[in-house]
Amino acid sequence: MEATQEDATRPKALCPEKLSPDGLGLLRKSIDVDERKGLTAEELIEIIPAYEALLVRSETKVTADLLAAAKRLKVVARAGVGVDNVDVPAATKLGIIVVNSPSGNIQAAAEHTVALLLSMARNIPDACASLKAAKWERSRLVGVEVKGKTLGIIGLGKVGLIVARMARGMGMQVAAADPYASPSVAEAANVNLVGSLGELLPVADFLTIHTPMLASTKGMLSHAEIGQMKKGSRILNVARGGIVDEVALLAALESGQISGAAIDVFTKEPPNKDPESAASKLIAHPKCVCTPHLGASTVEAQENVSIDVCEQVLQILAGELPRSAVNAPIILPADHKTLQPFVALVEKMGSLYTQHFTSPKEQSGRTTFDLTYEGEISMISSTKPLFAAFIKGLTSPISDAEGFNVNIVNAELVAKERGIFVNEQKSRDPSTQAYSSLITLVARPPSRAPSLNRVEQVSTADLNSRRAKEERHIISGYCSDRSPFISRIDRFSTSFKADGVLIICHNYDSPGKIGVVGGLLGKENVNINFMSVAPATYMNNEAHVPKMAQERLRTPSDASTPTESTEALMILGVDREVDDKVLKGLVEGGGVLSVSSVVL
């Protein structure tokens, strides 16, 4: 069966590792998914340019070279918690969103920690192997109870907190070291939150680690730290390989400083097969219980993380906000739903400004902008998504041809590189009572320091030209039923849905103008879907602009300039893009002062 045009334009996702079919099934409803296991690094780089999404677990190394080759890539999804195998700074610079599943496997990791703790305390792996070898060594395999013992936890995050609650359920005392943990949360879980690692190590009978792998945590437990622990204590690591120094751990086991270790993660995975390596000796050591990175390996966890990251991939490819992006600001769930329609609105306002007010040939315009949020939207704690959407809308009409992706991840970097300055303001001005929320964009020339002791003589034409260049431009918008609407363009009051192909005509508001424009478009076989006439309602681009924005707009001549009530904008929604010939015909034959074609 031949592929349809819709199939040919569907986004593509690459999955080079095994993921739960539940999540991939969600993806396949709207995008194409290629499962290509066993690819080399070179093969990945060769094929990655064809994909918009990359889904990995822990084996695939998402390097800077791979990301640079991924010209269409919008998202890297890591089905798990850590992103050690992803070059996040390189992805950020390229505007590629990196998402993970921070909560999909926390229960599995916590349960595996407790399973290893009990296995180590009761010598279960050794006892199982002994019995299978037809031995009966009850006296050699005497273990210890955990009740009444102290469990030390490094990192009281989501996994650490669940482990703490499970340990308390077994009658253990729990102490934890975490500079960012909430004292009230620790108190509620009956955890003694200590001030430093140095306070925790001497009191722990069992020590478990639940921190990410960072420069500050690499080798966190080495010779000196293990030397501070009780003689005969035990260590667990179900977090990340390398946090515990494998050489130091092996030495402590052999010296008897610690009497047991339980390791699920290694510095190099799979571990080096060299029998003389520290990892190989740990695996072979009779006092070490080892598993091959099984912390998240439950049916439920694999389903959870797969569904979670696949849902996020679909959201990002649809232009929605990421909920678990590791290289983007965290958006509170309560704010997420409220922000989404306004993200679309602000992006369209930025695009409308660039297409309507700037020259396509010069690709130049204002570089200083005020964004004022009024009403309910001003209550949102983070406006980062709105800022990013504006930068994307502002630059996309120029940059899309270059394949450059602007989003919440790299918007600030893009703005800085292009010299774009955005002043974000929140206002409770009563002028917004007509709308529950209103966003106003003011584009203005950058502030310039006055020249000292300088006198110029300029002609009237030059003066008028300078004033024209310093003219402010204003666009206001609101949302209705979660759809974006434009309510103002400069002095003209309007209300139209910001969607599709638009023709915006600036003309004198005289009888017959609509018929002339409609007739000219009809001759070019351009159908008009809707039309809105916007009268010149505002005075000098100031009235009904939020007070904070008004201060930036006022000039000494504002008070005396009258409103041109005979001018109007005619906004027409049409069924296709029109060429310069049609636009020129509207100006020459339709009595239109100026015209622009906009695609939103």
Q: Which parts of 170-266 fold into alpha helices (H)?
A: 183-188, 197-200, 223-227, 246-255
User: What is the pLDDT at residue 465?
Assistant: 46
Question: What would the mean pLDDT of 334-340 be, rounded to a whole number?
Answer: 79
Overall residue count recorded for the chain in this entry: 600
Q: Which parts of 470-538 fold into alpha helices (H)?
A: 513-523
Catalytically annotated residues = 240, 269, 293
Closest CA to 206 of 265, 266, 295, 143: 143
Q: What are phi and psi of 338, to 5 degrees?
A: -65, -40
Task: Quick: pLDDT tens for 421-480.
Answer: 999 998 866 554 578 899 999 998 765 433 333 333 334 444 344 444 457 899 999 999
User: What is the pLDDT at residue 412?
Assistant: 85
Q: Lowest-pLDDT range, 249-258, 464-473, 482-491, 580-589? A: 464-473
Q: Is 556's pLDDT higher than 50?
A: no
Q: What are phi and psi of 432, to 5 degrees?
A: -95, 15
DSSP 181: S
Alpha-carbon distance of 577 to 598, in angstroms, equals 8
Alpha-carbon distance of 205 to 484, in angstroms, equals 60
Task: Quick: pLDDT tens for 196-242.
Answer: 999 999 999 999 999 988 788 899 999 999 999 999 999 999 999 99
Alpha-carbon distance of 196 to 177, in angstroms, equals 6
Quote the percentage of the chain above a pLDDT of 70. 85
Between 558 and 213, where is the model more confident?
213
Residue 419: band (very low, low, confident or very high) from pLDDT cuts 50, 70, 90? confident
Q: Which two tokens stand for residue 101?
A: 């599943």
Between 404 and 489, where is the model more confident?
489
Any idea which residue has 């590189």 for tokens?
Answer: 417
SS3 559: helix
Alpha-carbon distance of 397 to 359, in angstroms, equals 11
What is the CATH code for 5-102+300-317?
3.40.50.720
Task: Quick: pLDDT tens for 360-385.
Answer: 544 455 689 999 999 889 888 888 88
Q: Is 495's pLDDT higher than 80?
A: yes
User: What is the pLDDT at residue 552?
Assistant: 39
Look over the chain and give the mean of its residue pLDDT values, rounded to a whole number: 85
User: What is the pLDDT at residue 71?
Assistant: 92
Judge: domain 333-449+460-599, CATH 3.30.1330.90: yes
Q: Is 291's pLDDT higher than 60?
A: yes
Helix (H) or strand (E) holding 218: none
Q: Where in the chain is the domain with CATH 3.40.50.720?
A: 5-102+300-317, 106-290
Q: Is 527's pLDDT higher than 80?
A: yes
State the first-to-last Cα distance of the chain, in angstroms, to the nearest integer: 35
User: What is the pLDDT at residue 119?
Assistant: 97
User: What is the pLDDT at residue 7?
Assistant: 54
Question: What would the mean pLDDT of 157-162 be, rounded to a whole number?
Answer: 93
Determine the topology of domain 106-290 in CATH. Rossmann fold (3.40.50)
User: What is the pLDDT at residue 445?
Assistant: 75
pTM of the full structure = 0.60
Any idea which residue has 């539940």 for tokens?
Answer: 22
Q: Name every residue whose Cβ is closer than 8 Å to that of residue 584 and which is 6 or more positions away in sequence.
A: none
